[in-house]
């Protein structure tokens, strides 16, 4: 450990720490544009200059390592003047088009001007003219005039994807980021460029001109589109959608987690969010006339519990079948396991998930099963659906998820389903298979509920609720708790579960795997 002083505040940091990181640890913000902790310091923006006692010149906070007794000043007059000077240079050639720039509200240049600039422009010359809307990739638009040449994009494509599509072209004031001839940023991580660009130079055409950053709220979530479990933010419009399109989610961004996804997410996870607002089921569908009029969850659960209780008392639980999937959270799978496998001795349990897809050698896995590891740790054998076994004597089927159609055709599945007396489906989507069930109940998506998922490496990660469940949708954990209470086995045990967090605590007590991950 090395003892240093930042703005007279004594601090102990590890040897080899840079001044910028040390200041961060002390809660002192040193402005920087080119520095990004994913890359080695580049030192080109010159925003992070600080004063170090005994040194004649200002030094870079991003690349200077601390030394014992070092006295650093981040707020001296010299430092503030230098920052202003750098900002003035950057803004001189910048188009200052914040009102029509998608980065406005989350632009570091804008923020730093507010914080350290606030001067009148003294630039009376004509600005350099450059490309304003260069399409550099499937979703990426480059505005060279807004670019401050921090080269984060070049370094990302050099060090992370190693695909080298962008480079710095020309020299001096003519320097600009450009794409190499005949290339396009088509790698599966391209969307990260718009995210690491500190200004509005690289914008994402999926987000461009759709909304303003300050209308959005964000919530921490986990990407469910493969088994990696990348940490993400879901950014959404709170309240009603502002456009005729019933769209709530406007963007998915990466959330740093060095143990899982570093700073990045893949384009599948970033751009694959449209499922949250499209093709959704938002009300109960009744395909077979039931004696129960005007269905609601209460009546449906009463109906299910009566059926289950009867089968249980007649010792006919072998006639019960379940179709699950790994989009269910640890907490939901835990409850289903308790109720059906342990309390009711149901054995016919299948998993129907999306089929495997493409993978890359970085984050994206071929499995599209966000909680397969969780299901295994809870105790499920991971059996795919076998229609013959399902058809053999099943009288009562409870299915979850929209994935049947990925594996079976309607004609294949219909004869088997016709033999089953009672069939219920809990799904978030409208789907042709929904017609096979007597009752279809809408469920909440991961973005609409709380819980946790276990990724392929066994990391248990919580996600929080960004959106309200759509229409009559309910999260599965709640449905299960209510059902369990109606079954009247262990009523007092299930009664306590008023939130996924409480279920998780119980899981930790019962399953060693989850104990240390509480």
Partner 1 sequence: MEEKLLTRHFDLKNLYKIEVYLKEVGYQAVKRALKEMKPEEILEEVKNANLRGRGGAGFPAGVKWGFVPQDVDKPKYLCVNADEGEPGTFKDRYIMSHNPHLMIEGIIITCFCVGIHTAFIYIRGEYEAIALRLEQAISEAYKKGFLGKNILETGFDLDVFVHRGAGAYICGEETGLLESLEGKRGHPRLKPPFPASIGLFQCPTVINNVETISNIPQIILNGAEWFLKKGLPKDGGTRIFGVSGVVKNPGIYELPLGTNLKDIIFKYAGGMKEGKKLKAVFPGGMSAPILKADEINIKMDFDSLVEAESMLGSAAIIVIDEETSMLDVLKVVTRFYSHESCGQCTPCRIGNSWINKIIKRIAAGGGKRGDIDNIIRLASNMMGKTLCPLGDAAAMPILSITKKFRKEIESYTAN
Which span (90-98, 137-145, 201-209, 235-243) binds partner 1, by CB under 8 A? 90-98
Site for partner 1, residues 109 to 138, rule: CB under 8 A: 122-126, 128
- Region 245-304 residues binding partner 1, contact defined as CB under 8 A: none
Q: Identify which range of 43-51, 133-141, 190-198, 249-257 contacts partner 1 by CB under 8 A.
A: 43-51
Closer Cβ to partner 1, 174 or 244, answer by number = 174
In the bound state with partner 1, the residue whose beta carbon lies nearer, of 152 and 319, is 152
Alpha-carbon distance 48 to 87, whole Å? 11
Phi, psi of 397 (to 5 degrees): -125, 130
Closest C-alpha among 495, 456, 305, 332 to residue 400: 332
Question: Using CB under 8 A as the criterion, what x/- string covers residues 149-168 for binding partner 1?
Answer: x------------------x
Residues between 313 and 372 with contacts to partner 1, criterion CB under 8 A: none
Place of tokens 């790994």: 326
Rounded CA-CA distance 383/351 in Å is 6
Scanning 45-53, 292-300, 332-340, 354-362 for contacts with partner 1 by CB under 8 A, the matching segment is 45-53
**Per-position DSSP letters for 416-433, written without gaps between them:** HHHT-SEEEEEESB--GG
Choices 85-93, 108-116, 420-428, 460-468 (CB under 8 A): range interacting with partner 1: 85-93
Euclidean distance between CA atoms 141 and 203, whole angstroms: 5
- Candidate list 53, 71, 85, 186; residue touching partner 1; CB under 8 A: 85
**Nearest approach, Cβ of residue 158 and partner 1 (Å):** 11
The residue among 47 and 308 lying less far from partner 1, judged by its C-beta, is 47
Q: Which two tokens stand for residue 420?
A: 């089953």
Options 163, 175, 318, 505; binder of partner 1; rule CB under 8 A: 175
- Which residues, in sequence order, are CB contacts of 212 under 8 Å at separation 6+? 104, 105
Site string for partner 1, 46-65 (x = CB under 8 A): xx-x------xxx-x--x--
Residue 383 CB contacts under 8 Å (≥ 6 apart), including other chains? 349, 350, 351
CB 91 within 8 A of CB 23: no
Asked if 23 touches partner 1 (CB under 8 A), the answer is no
- Tokens 């979850």 identify what position? 400
230 by DSSP, 3-state: which? coil
Please, what is the minimum distance in Å from the beta carbon of residue 262 to partner 1?
Answer: 23
| CA separation, residue 76 to residues 10, 47, 50, 52 (Å) | 17, 14, 8, 10
Distance CA 160, CA 137 (A): 17
Quote the least distance from Cβ 36 to partner 1, whole Å: 15
* Contact of 332 with 322, CB cutoff 8 Å: no
| Binding interface with partner 1 (CB under 8 A) | 41-47, 49, 56-58, 60, 63, 81-82, 85-86, 88-90, 92-93, 122-126, 128, 148-149, 168, 170-175
């Amino acid at each position: 450990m090395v003892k240093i002083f930042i703005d007279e505040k004594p601090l102990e940091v590890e040897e080899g720490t840079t001044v910028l990181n040390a200041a961060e640890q002390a809660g002192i913000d040193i402005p920087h544009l080119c520095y990004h902790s994913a890359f080695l310091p580049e030192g080109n923006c010159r925003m992070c200059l600080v004063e170090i006692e005994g040194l004649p010149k200002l030094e870079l906070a991003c690349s200077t390592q601390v030394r014992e007794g070092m006295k650093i000043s981040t707020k001296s007059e010299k430092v503030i003047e230098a920052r202003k000077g750098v900002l003035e240079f950057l803004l001189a050639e910048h188009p200052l088009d914040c009102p029509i720039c998608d980065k406005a509200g989350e632009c570091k240049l804008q923020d730093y001007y507010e914080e350290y600039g606030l001067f009148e422009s003294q630039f009376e010359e004509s600005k350099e003219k450059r490309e304003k809307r260069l399409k550099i990739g499937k979703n990426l638009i480059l505005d060279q005039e807004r670019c401050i040449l921090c080269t984060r994009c070049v370094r990302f494509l050099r060090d992370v994807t190693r695909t080298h599509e962008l480079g710095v072209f020309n020299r001096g004031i003519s320097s600009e980021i450009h794409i190499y001839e005949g290339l396009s940023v088509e790698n599966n991580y391209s969307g990260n460029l718009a995210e690491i660009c500190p200004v509005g130079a690289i914008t994402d055409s999926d987000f461009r001109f759709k909304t303003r950053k300050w209308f959005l709220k964000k919530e921490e979530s986990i990407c469910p589109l493969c088994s990696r479990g990348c940490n993400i933010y879901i950014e959404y419009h709170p309240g009603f959608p502002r456009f005729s399109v019933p769209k709530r989610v406007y963007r998915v961004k990466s959330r740093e987690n060095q143990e899982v996804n570093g700073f990045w997410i893949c384009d599948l996870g970033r751009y694959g969010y449209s499922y949250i607002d499209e093709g959704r089921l938002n009300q109960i569908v009744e395909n077979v006339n039931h004696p129960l009029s005007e269905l609601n969850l209460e009546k449906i659960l009463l109906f299910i519990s009566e059926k289950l209780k009867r089968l249980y008392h007649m010792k006919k639980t072998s006639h019960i079948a379940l179709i699950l999937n790994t989009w269910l959270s640890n907490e939901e799978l835990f409850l289903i396991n308790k109720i059906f496998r342990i309390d009711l001795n149901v054995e016919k349990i299948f998993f129907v998930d999306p089929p495997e897809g493409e993978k890359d050698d970085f984050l994206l896995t071929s499995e599209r099963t966000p909680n397969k590891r969780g299901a295994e740790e809870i105790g499920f054998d991971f059996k795919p659906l076998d229609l013959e076994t399902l058809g053999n004597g099943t009288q009562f089927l409870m299915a979850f998820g929209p994935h049947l159609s990925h594996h079976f055709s309607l004609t294949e599945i219909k004869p088997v389903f016709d033999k089953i007396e009672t069939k219920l489906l809990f799904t978030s989507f409208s789907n042709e298979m929904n017609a096979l069930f007597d009752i279809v109940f809408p469920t909440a998506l991961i973005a609409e509920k709380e819980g946790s998922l276990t990724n392929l490496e066994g990391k248990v990660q919580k996600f929080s609720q960004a959106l309200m469940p759509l229409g009559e949708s309910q999260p599965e954990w709640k449905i299960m708790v209510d059902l369990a209470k109606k079954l009247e086995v262990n009523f007092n045990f299930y009664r306590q579960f008023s939130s996924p967090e409480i279920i998780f605590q119980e899981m930790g007590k019962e399953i060693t795997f989850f104990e240390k991950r509480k």
